Every structure is written in C-alpha cells, then in structure tokens.
Amino acid sequence: MKILIIEDEQGLRETITAYLTEDNNICESCYDLQGAIAKLAFYTYDFVLLDIGLPDGDGFAVLNYLKDQTRSEAVIIISARNSLDDRIKGLNIGADDYLIKPFHLAELKARIIAVFRRKSTNSNNSLVFNEIVINLMGRSVEVNGSAIILTRKEYDMLLYFIANKGKVIAKTALAEHLWGDEMDMHDNFDFIYSHIKNLRKKILDLTSNDYLKSIYGIGYKFTDE
C-alpha cells in the first residue's frame, strides 16, 4: 500500500510513518497543505492520512481537491477537534473515517485496514493469517477450515490483533478499542484478560500454534515468529 501522511506535528508524523512502513507499505509524508496538493498532483496513493489543522489552511481543501479530481484515494482524517460538524463535513466531502487525537497507532492501523477492505471491490473480503481466515462480510472465522464461534468482543479483538500482527499492543489501546467511552471508569484490565483467555482457547482448540503472546505488564502481541 502507498500511503501519504499529511501531518504538521513532526513527532507524530515520524512515528506514524515508522509504524506503517512495514508489510510492503510505502509511506510518504508532508507537513502542509501546499506540499500535500503538490504530492497528490504528481503521484497516486492508496491511502491518505489527513490532519485537518494544517499551518497553511485547513485539511478539507485536500478532500475537495481529491473530490474535484475524482480520485480514488481512501482518506482517514486525524483531527484534534472532536466536533460532530467537522466529522460530518469530512465524511460528506469524501473522507472514509475520522480519528480523534490522541489515538493509538494500533487503532490507526486497524482503521486503515478496515477502510481499505471496505473500499477494495476486487478483494474477496477475507483477511488471512496463516491458517486463520476471517470473513469480513459474514463476520465469521475459520481455523484450519473449521468455523469457530466468537463473541463480538472476541471477533473485534482478533481483527484488531491481525491488523496489527507482529506488533506489541498496549492493554490500554486494546481496552479503548473494545470498550470506547465506557473504559474511562476502570483501569483494571481483568475482563480484557478473560476475553483474551477465551479467544486463545478457542483458537488453540483447532490449531497447535499459539500466536497470541502476552507481554507482561504492558500488553499483547499476535505473531507467528
């Protein structure tokens, strides 16, 4: 995937670029509106990450540009403004998702994959990780050809892990992804642990590979290494 990252905050730009530059992804970045339009004029991308508050104008201009040129780049807005109006405006001009700062990189990656899957019409709409096959349309999971029944939380969790395969995912990131706003009341992660335990058990029933590794004190990692 070819990704353009438009973000004026250097620290954020660099870490996003570093996190996403893997899995054969090519990332380019720029820090202002002018640079973004210039890059988009010369190259095509699969994905654009767009910050709304840019130093030389607001990011909606990029969306308008893409719309006028009838381009097919998928766009995720990353904004510090949690405003319903901005969100609706962005989605109306053609953005595919809207992510509010601060966010976890794992969350960003999961969103990118979800949007990309949704957008790509030619794909068979399944996500494959070795012997695990997730059918995104039917929300069903097969391991070694036999279906396993997952609860909604377990399914979301598995999807999140596979989207971020090979990466350490912090417990807080996982909790925020699964529980969202409710999460702000408990910093105890016992129930994450019970979901993880169930998910691992269900997968291990059908395969001998334990992909789900616990990184003590901080979180989990889904990897086949």
**Residues at the interface with another protein (CB under 8 A):** 9, 11-12, 15-16, 18-19, 78, 80-82, 84, 100-106, 167-168, 170-173, 176, 181-182, 184-188, 190-191, 215-219
For the bound state, the minimum distance from the C-beta of residue 28 to another protein, rounded and expressed in Å, comes to 18
For the bound state, the minimum distance from the C-beta of residue 113 to another protein, rounded and expressed in Å, comes to 16
* CA separation for the pair 208, 146 (Å, rounded): 14
For the bound state, the minimum distance from the C-beta of residue 104 to another protein, rounded and expressed in Å, comes to 6
C-beta closer to another protein: residue 66 or 221 = 221
For the bound state, the minimum distance from the C-beta of residue 118 to another protein, rounded and expressed in Å, comes to 24
Among candidate residues 182, 222, 217, the one with its CA nearest the CA of residue 199: 222
For the bound state, the minimum distance from the C-beta of residue 29 to another protein, rounded and expressed in Å, comes to 13
C-beta closer to another protein: residue 86 or 143 = 86
CB atoms within 10 A of CB 223: 15
Distances (CA, A) of 217 to 39, 74, 170, 220: 42, 36, 9, 9
Q: Which residues contact 12 (CB under 8 A, 6 or more apart)?
A: none
Q: Which residues contact 48 (CB under 8 A, 6 or more apart)?
A: 3, 4, 6, 40, 62, 66, 73, 74, 75, 76
C-beta closer to another protein: residue 68 or 187 = 187
For the bound state, the minimum distance from the C-beta of residue 31 to another protein, rounded and expressed in Å, comes to 13
Q: What crossing angle do the helices spanning 10-20 and 105-119 adopt, rounded to 10°?
A: 60
C-beta closer to another protein: residue 20 or 134 = 20
C-beta closer to another protein: residue 134 or 199 = 199
C-beta closer to another protein: residue 131 or 156 = 156
* CA separation for the pair 170, 180 (Å, rounded): 15
